[in-house]
Amino acid sequence: MDKQYDIIIHGAGISGLVLALSLVRGSTSCKVSVLLLDRNMPKLQPQIHESPCSVNDFDNRVFALNEASKKLLENIVVWPGKDNDRIFPYKHMHVWDAGGKGQIHFDALEAGTAFLGYIVEGRVMRDWLVRAVGEEPMIDMRGDVALNQYETVDGGLRLHLSSGDSLTTRLLVAADGAQSPVRQLVGIDAVGWSYHQQAVVAIVETGIHHADTAWQRFLPEGPLAFLPVQQPWCSIVWSVPEQQAEHLCSMPEQEFAEHLMAAFQRRLGRIKVVGPRAKFPLKLLHARRYTANRSALIADAAHTVHPLAGQGLNLGLLDVSALSRRIAEATAKGQDIGGRRVLRAYERSRKGNNYLMQGSFDLLERLFSNDQLVLAYLRNTGLNIVNGLVPVKNAFVREAMG
């Protein structure tokens, strides 16, 4: 007989792992059995918990997490206590435009909060989550396996795996990223376009202290961000046209550092590149629906955004909160967790907000990657006006904090 799980999550990236834990821990725990499936088995990395960290084990892929994401990770007891060496809170954000004198500065104190956000390495966060999943008897995890096909059965779905096994579940969740094979399998269309840009990421050493500030300069070809991590390092995210990304990743380190310094106007002094570079294609994507027969999409499987605002994962984690809350409520009321009513409620609670945020980031990208004189004048004037309007800036901060 097939093994049965209440919920099967396809994709054990950050959003899939957090969802699994949210279903069995904290305020949304609801005693369901969960299986996480991934084509790669996440590996634990013992050395990354030793502190202080060294540049050799520092991940060049980092996330800026907002307060809502931090609270969610606290709720499932994976956010480490104060003064952890692998979390880098920042208090300021400074943004300026290469096409004029416009700039805007956000300050945590001014907004009545301790921090604007937290920079955490992707590898470290995944490690916290995989360890926590390993402690949970209600969560199973299988790596090196993918979902090939499914069929509807009485009260659920039967899934056929690449390993030849079949399993049944009441709810299938796609947390399998932007290319989401499950989204395609269950027949949900997605709309979107490529930005024809790639984001180049790296860890760099800066001559001047980053001052616990997330810095971003908008250049006509795309934004360049310096995110503050352990002093004297910053993590950079530089969005550039595809060919330029190729070139930036293949040139010698010293030459890359010279390009970076010029693009960043040497705001943080001399730059030394201290780790490998990587690049990621950028596209906007939105699924037409978040739910189908006993299945739901979350995070990048449902929507992807330009990284200029550092919000992609934060939006995905809001999906996770919403879906786990709907499932907990349904379980408490004895409702079918894979039923239409529950899934529609989840979709209604997230889709509008995701569209709005995605549209805003896309508008910002178009506005700033444009060197028309009139537009440059308007956006620089706009930046300077908003910079003087503290209540408006605080409203932006509250939105960005989730």
Ligand X SMILES: Cc1cc2nc3c(=O)[nH]c(=O)nc-3n(C[C@H](O)[C@H](O)[C@H](O)COP(=O)(O)OP(=O)(O)OC[C@H]3O[C@@H](n4cnc5c(N)ncnc54)[C@H](O)[C@@H]3O)c2cc1C
Binding site for ligand X (CB under 6 A): 11-16, 38-40, 63-64, 146, 175-177, 181, 199, 201, 237, 280, 299-300, 307, 310-314, 316
Closest by CA position to 297, among listed 191, 178, 402: 178
What distance in Å separates the CA atoms of residue 222 and residue 98, rounded to the nearest whole number? 10
ω into residue 232 within 30 of 0, thus cis? yes
Q: Which is nearer to ligand X, 18 or 24 (CB)?
A: 18
Determine the length of the chain.
Answer: 402
Q: Is 286 in a helix, a strand, or coil?
A: strand
**What minimum distance in Å lies between the beta carbon of 101 and ligand X?**
27
Residue closest to ligand X, measured at CB: 13
Helices within 103-147 (DSSP H only): 122-134
What distance in Å separates the CA atoms of residue 295 and residue 39, rounded to the nearest whole number? 19
**What minimum distance in Å lies between the beta carbon of 312 and ligand X?**
3
- Is the separation of the CB atoms in 132 and 72 below 8 Å? no
| Position 1, amino acid | M
**What minimum distance in Å lies between the beta carbon of 130 and ligand X?**
11
Q: Which is nearer to ligand X, 287 or 299 (CB)?
A: 299
**What minimum distance in Å lies between the beta carbon of 388 and ligand X?**
27
Q: Which residue bears the tokens 């910053």?
A: 234
Q: Which is nearer to ligand X, 336 or 362 (CB)?
A: 362
**What minimum distance in Å lies between the beta carbon of 200 and ligand X?**
8
Q: Which residue bears the tokens 């990236």?
A: 13
239: burial class by Cβ within 10 Å (0-12, 13-18, 19+)?
buried
**What minimum distance in Å lies between the beta carbon of 234 and ligand X?**
13
Q: Which is nearer to ligand X, 173 or 376 (CB)?
A: 173
Q: Which is nearer to ligand X, 40 or 152 (CB)?
A: 40
- DSSP single-letter state for residue 36: E
Q: Which residue bears the tokens 């739901």?
A: 296
Q: Which is nearer to ligand X, 102 or 223 (CB)?
A: 223
**What minimum distance in Å lies between the beta carbon of 372 and ligand X?**
27
Q: Which is nearer to ligand X, 102 or 307 (CB)?
A: 307
What distance in Å separates the CA atoms of residue 172 and residue 100, rounded to the nearest whole number? 50
Quote the tokens at residue 107.
């300050």
